[in-house]
Structure 1
């Protein structure tokens, strides 16, 4: 019965979000209430689970996503992202442009949220296609693959951070393992897949782009790169040092520990934001006061994202409090499958049906939570497997599908051959990588 109710709840989400066009936040809260009552939690138990799920989900996540949005805004508005792009693409021709844009997409995609990075990179992709004569879909795939990988695998993007919190994973290790998986994923789903699209007819970007007003004096390349990657460097370095010095030095005991502070994602992002504002502000002659005034505008788009995540957290908590997630995982144990594969399959099924990668990851994390609690697999690898599954087989119910199609003037079949294939390759490589790493960590 719990499995049937969960299936009907997910089906209700599909009807409300896809066919009736309801906002995901409203749909998630309504379905969470209905599922809780149907699972016998009663009115009080259901509402307590929803409130607890919202609060628990947004706890530290809201700060991380907020700081990540601000850092991305500073990197874009000071021209640092443009400087990185120009340096890595300038002077390249033909296929070399694809590799340059792939690297640009990866570096820009780490600090910038997917939608921001996509809109910023789209004019560059179109311009590169016109200059080289390469099919636009070919250039777009080589670039956007990097954005997709960072969105699905690497903190501080919403899904990896949220799933890490749900599974109790070490976010520093998630970042390190994610970087290991990102390299083959980006190469195979980016430039190598792009080569198979060289005979696709040339198209033109169908949308006009607003020119971002950059400062007259742009920052240096080295400074731009450092500011964009500083939080990643702090988290990665801190985690590596911590793995060598052992648990005794991780700050778990009472007192102040610089190492434990550096390996905290919130602190790393805060340092990154302040450092970028100060250094990039000085190099571009933009005052700290002016950059601080822009924070409100940079945070505004995160409101809708946070509410959707909160709704997903509410639904997840209903499944957890009712014991449904335990029941589902216990049922799956009969298949004798690897927990990493189970987490990937759950996320992939939800991705195909719900469309949204973030929503699929959130919901899958709630269902697969007992897998992490059982200790049968590394929680960090479960995070990445869930994130990978949430990227698979994007099609017509995904807003990312239509964004890619319309921006680059493609037909639906062309988008399926390029975007959908790219997303699926990233997802499968992520799964294979997680299974491989499970024998080493």
Structure 2
């Protein structure tokens, strides 16, 4: 049975990555070959399928992902992220410090990938904790909730961006609906969940944590960083451009407007790739040239950003190769036939498959891509909104982060927690994001 072969592939992947400590990209390619052979694919088609999956996935993602990494790096290196965080902390005041951390982490999380945002914000959270004499976990939970939600639901992050490409969903709609899902989910998984966690594991809120492994952090004199307004504008610019184009497109369809040159130009500017390029050029000026930073230094930051995401791009490509093997090998078609007469919504099915794969594999991105290989053939049988299927897949891919996920260990070590405390905080937090994220997606499906 095709699903048995998929299970063998996933178990093999776990053994290679966790048991033999093999590189994730190499493991994905090996498993792609093994599964393709077991599925009985003609030998002369296997390499072509793997190359098509890898190239097709990266062809859609590389431009957005690469430009997004450069944009985030410029904002971080200029001190823009620190300016956003410290200004919001000052504005909200000590009483509302959690909300300041949530808003700052959400804005920064849109521009920076999860791991980068975490490494950047943790020292700031530790400094605020010492200054105000509050628990680091009291601030840390809202911070990682915001970073995780933006990572799972909002382009240009790799998960939602690549899955939108695989499903053929409109990236602007994913962004717009993603915001509607992300905001309430952050509130529930951040400040509200902190109160629950404090009752579950009160001792964890007394821990002092340890960020020595982060090494020496670059400290900025706030007077030398970009202004708050320009920092927020630069970080949010791609979101603004894509959102404007999406709203106009939705209005055009709803009101029956005729296409014209102005609408075409706005839609072109609001395309994810164009929006990211424009935003990067703006950041080169606002975060660099306007502050008399030599263009060479600015370009060095861009080069460093690309170097840092090289392996992540390959891993995503490897996931795309595995996904294509599942489609061309007939697994997707088998799943479609299996659920042909079911009343189960593709939204629920995508979430369920992604959740199972996330728990098994650890990687949210690999879980999402593998889900796509199983779900894509189902989408032709349904009129479901594809943007909502993207968000459901993203929600499923975040569930129950545990010992096979790097994020679990990062959170545990930085905040100085025991295994039990990490499960009761980080793992439960990720599960709350996943379940409530699905709930809000299902609510949206009733009206869009």
Aligned partner (choices 286, 294, 305) of residue 293 of structure 2 = 286
CA displacement, residues 146-189 of structure 1 (integer Å, 9 cap, x when unaligned): 00000000000001010000000000000000000001100000
Shift of 1:110: 0.1
Q: Show the 5 A alignment for 1:206-217.
A: 206-208=210-212, 209=214, 210-214=216-220, 217=224
TM-score, normalization by structure 1: 0.95
Where does structure 1 lack aligned partners over 5 or more consecutive residues? none
Question: 2: CA distance between counterparts of 1:372 and 1:179?
Answer: 23
SS in 1 for 2:111: coil
Instruction: Say which structure is richer in helix.
Output: 2
Instruction: Give aligned pairs, total.
Output: 440
* Native 8 Å contact 2:2 2:331 kept in 1: yes
Q: Tell me if the contact between 1:351 and 1:391 (Cα under 8 Å) persists in the aligned partners.
A: yes
Indicate the larger mover: 324-333 or 160-169: 324-333
Deviation at 1:245, TM superposition (A): 2.1
Q: What secondary structure, in the 3-state scheme, does the structure 2 residue paired with 1:41 have?
A: coil
CA shift at 1:335, angstroms?
4.4
User: Does 1:275 find its partner at 2:282?
Assistant: yes
Alignment of 1:101-180 (within 5 A): 101-180=101-180
8 A Cα contact 1:125 1:140, kept in partner: yes
Structure 2 counterpart SS, 1:420 = helix
- Are the aligned partners of 1:278 and 1:288 in contact in 2 as well (CA < 8 Å)? no
What is the root-mean-square deviation of aligned Cα atoms in Å? 2.0
**166-175 or 425-434, larger mean C-alpha shift:** 425-434
1:223/1:195 CA distance change after superposition, 3 Å: same
Q: Contact (CA 8 Å) 2:125, 2:139: kept in 1 or not?
A: yes
Q: Which residue of 2 aligns with 1:420?
A: 427
Q: State the shift of 1:282 in Å.
A: 4.1
Cα pair 2:82 2:124 within 8 Å, conserved: no
Provide the secondary structure at the position in 2 that maps to 1:374: coil
Alpha-carbon distance in structure 2 between the residues aligned to 1:250 and 1:35: 49
Summarize deviations over 1:230-263 as a string: whole Å, max 9, x none: 0000000111011112398797x99992022122
Alpha-carbon contact 2:60-2:162 (below 8 Å) kept: no
Alignment of 1:228 onto 2:235: yes
Q: Distance in 2 between matches of 1:10 and 1:255?
A: 49
CA distances 1:326-375 after superposition (whole Å, capped 9, x unpaired): 21132134543111110000000001010111111111111111233333
CA distance, structure 2, for counterparts of residue 197 and residue 349 of structure 1? 25
Following superposition, the deviation at residue 93 of structure 1 comes to 5.0
- Indicate if the aligned counterparts of 1:250 and 1:260 stay in contact, CA closer than 8 A: no
- Relative to structure 2, which stretch is displaced further, 164-173 or 127-136? 127-136
The question of 1:39 aligning with 2:39 is answered: yes
CA-CA distance at 1:228 after TM superposition: 0.6
Question: Does the CA-based 8 Å contact 2:17-2:24 persist in structure 1?
Answer: yes
Q: Cα offset for 1:58?
A: 0.7
Distance 1:376 1:27, change over 3 A: same
Q: Judge conservation of contact 1:219–1:283 (CA < 8 Å) in 2.
A: no
Aligned mates of 2:379, 2:17 — CA distance in 1? 29
Q: Is the 8 A contact 1:18 1:397 kept in 2?
A: yes
Alignment of 1:361 onto 2:368: yes
The yes-or-no answer on 1:324 pairing with 2:328 is no
* 1: CA distance, partners of 2:317 / 2:380: 22
Check the 8 A contact 2:92/2:99 in 1, yes or no.
no
Shift of 1:283: 4.1
Residues 372, 382 of structure 1: 8 Å contact kept:
no
Q: Which stretch has the larger CA shift, 233-242 or 127-136? A: 127-136
1:191-270 correspondence runs (5 A):
191-198=191-198, 199-200=202-203, 201-208=205-212, 209=214, 210-214=216-220, 217-246=224-253, 257-270=264-277
Alpha-carbon distance change, 31 to 249 in structure 1, aligned in 2, over 3 angstroms = farther
Asked if the contact 1:64/1:266 (under 8 Å) is kept, the reply is: yes
Displacement of 1:60: 2.5
Aligned counterparts of 1:365 and 1:240: Cα–Cα separation in 2:
27
**Is the Cα contact below 8 Å between 1:85 and 1:104 reproduced in 2?**
yes
| Contact 1:32/1:314 (8 A) holds in 2 | yes
Question: Does structure 1 residue 20 correspond to structure 2 residue 27?
Answer: no
Unaligned ranges ≥5, structure 2 = none
**Aligned equivalents of 2:25, 2:261: Cα separation in 1:** 40
Compute the TM-score of the two structures, normalised by the length of structure 2.
0.94
SS in 1 for 2:425: helix
